[in-house]
């Protein structure tokens, strides 16, 4: 299929690539996103696209590192997630969106980096043991799972990204990426930097817990989807847990013990927050009353997402096209890097 760039995408290619530092980040395709994803990562991506040359990709191979036996929903999950990126305000004229598995160059770099990467580097990555512990039902004694931080290193280095916006949990992966780049340059660079070391752009997250105060997650059933129906948003927040010590309306509460307060910290202004603190600690307000401004704020935040998502869902070809153009744009860079890498390693015969 011939790829035609729109005017806006063309000028972006020519100018932003020259003037703006490159940012790269990825997400596993978990399907439709929840508001925790938005406040934890996506909001930051939307902001970054204005000052950086942004590359955001669907890390579908990464999903297979843990869920290799469970690929039935993969395609739907990929597109549901991309729709939510666009719904959140990622603009295809500003950011390049693509799918990892469409770029075999990532696998080639992964293979070449694997040759010189000590096993111990991978075994000591904190997420390795953490994830095995947090997914006890899965057999993660696989080669792919151990190697996944190195695949991530390839994802990053192949674009020579200057910055990688990630949450705290992913920071060790950027660290190992830096070590891998340093080692590559040392082994094959002959004094030149073939693969530049990226910097971590630690996302300042407004921590939004789930409805029960635990980490928000679809599998725990404590989430609010970005595109949740308004009536569902209302029902979910109304049923949300509050300070367990505030059993009766007349009991005084403590916002610090209440997940609703964490929502106020994200969604409410100083006046509303003061109203909550005073009302809660003096039993001046009831919990349902306290939840009202949170419900209203979520509904207000959702309105433009729902509107954008609707127009993309009405035209799914448009979403595929955005990803198609983004993938070809990414491929141009990935291919150039691989030429440098092969030349450095003497693989040019």
The residues binding ligand TRP (CB under 6 A) are 24-28, 59, 62, 152, 155-156, 164, 166, 170
Q: What residue has token string 């990935």?
A: 334
Tell which one of 17, 285, 297, 299 touches ligand SF4 (CB under 6 A).
285
- Write down the least CB distance from residue 277 to ligand TRP, Å: 35
Total chain residues near ligand SF4 (CB under 6 A): 14
Q: Which residues pair with 86 in a beta bridge?
A: none
- Write down the least CB distance from residue 37 to ligand TRP, Å: 10
Q: Which stretch binds ligand SF4 (CB under 6 A): 101-109, 117-125, 242-250, 308-316?
A: 242-250
- Write down the least CB distance from residue 272 to ligand SF4, Å: 11
CB 41 within 8 A of CB 56: no
Tell which one of 78, 151, 280, 325 touches ligand SF4 (CB under 6 A).
280
Burial-class residue 306 by CB neighbours within 10 Å (0-12, 13-18, 19+).
middle
Judged by beta carbon distances under 5 to 8 A according to partner kind, the member of ligand SF4, ligand TRP, none in contact with residue 334 is none
DSSP result, 25-75: EEE---SS-BHHHIIIIIHHHHHHTTTSEEEEEE-HHHHHHH-TT--TTHH
- Write down the least CB distance from residue 195 to ligand TRP, Å: 14
Q: What is the DSSP letter of 245?
A: T
| 3-state DSSP assignment of residue 186 | helix
Binding mask 243-262 for ligand SF4 (x = CB under 6 A): x--x------x-x--x-xx-
User: What is the pairing mode between strands 53-58 and 199-202?
Assistant: unpaired
Nearer to ligand SF4, 26 or 255 (CB): 255
Nearer to ligand TRP, 59 or 86 (CB): 59
Q: What number of CA atoms fall less than 13 Å from residue 210's CA on the CB side?
A: 11
Nearer to ligand SF4, 124 or 207 (CB): 207
CA gap 36, 208 in Å, rounded = 6
- Write down the least CB distance from residue 271 to ligand SF4, Å: 15
Q: Tell whether residue 287 is a contact of ligand SF4 (CB under 6 A).
A: yes
Handedness of CA 64, 41, 226, 279 (dihedral sign): positive
Query: How many CB atoms neighbour CB 158 within 10 A?
Result: 25
Q: Tell whether residue 242 is a contact of ligand SF4 (CB under 6 A).
A: yes
Task: Write out the residues near ligand SF4 by the rule CB under 6 A.
Answer: 242-243, 246, 253, 255, 258, 260-261, 276, 280, 285, 287, 290-291
């Amino acid at each position: 299929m011939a790829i035609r760039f729109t005017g806006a995408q063309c000028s972006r290619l020519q100018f932003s690539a020259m003037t703006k530092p490159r940012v790269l980040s990825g997400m596993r395709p978990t399907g439709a996103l929840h508001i925790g994803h938005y406040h934890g990562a996506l909001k930051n991506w939307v902001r970054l696209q204005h000052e950086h040359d942004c590359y955001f990709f669907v890390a579908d191979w990464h999903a297979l590192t843990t869920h290799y036996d469970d690929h039935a929903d993969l395609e739907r999950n990929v597109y549901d997630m991309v729709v939510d990126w666009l719904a959140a305000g990622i603009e295809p004229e500003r950011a390049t969106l693509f799918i990892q598995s469409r770029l075999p160059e990532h696998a080639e770099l992964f293979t070449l980096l694997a040759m010189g990467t000590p096993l111990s580097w991978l075994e000591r990555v904190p997420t390795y043991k953490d994830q095995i512990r947090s997914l006890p039902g899965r057999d993660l004694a696989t080669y792919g799972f151990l190697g996944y931080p190195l695949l991530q290193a390839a994802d990053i280095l192949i674009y020579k990204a200057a910055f990688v916006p990630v949450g705290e949990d992913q920071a060790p992966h950027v660290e190992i990426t830096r070590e891998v780049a340093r080692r590559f340059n040392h082994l094959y660079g002959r004094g030149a930097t073939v693969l530049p070391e990226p910097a971590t752009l630690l996302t300042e997250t407004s921590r939004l817990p789930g409805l029960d105060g635990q980490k928000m997650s679809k599998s725990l059933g404590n989430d609010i989807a970005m595109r949740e129906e308004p009536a569902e948003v209302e029902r979910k927040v109304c049923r949300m847990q509050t300070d367990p010590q505030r059993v009766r309306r007349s009991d005084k509460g403590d916002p610090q013990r209440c997940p609703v307060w964490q929502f106020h910290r994200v969604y409410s202004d100083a006046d509303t927050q003061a109203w909550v603190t005073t009302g809660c600690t003096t039993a001046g307000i009831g919990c349902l009353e306290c939840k009202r401004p949170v419900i209203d704020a979520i509904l207000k935040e959702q309105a433009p997402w729902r509107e954008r998502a609707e127009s993309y869902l009405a035209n799914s070809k448009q979403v595929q096209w955005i990803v198609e153009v983004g993938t070809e744009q990414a491929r141009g860079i990935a291919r150039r890097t691989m030429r440098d890498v092969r030349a450095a390693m003497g693989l040019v015969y």
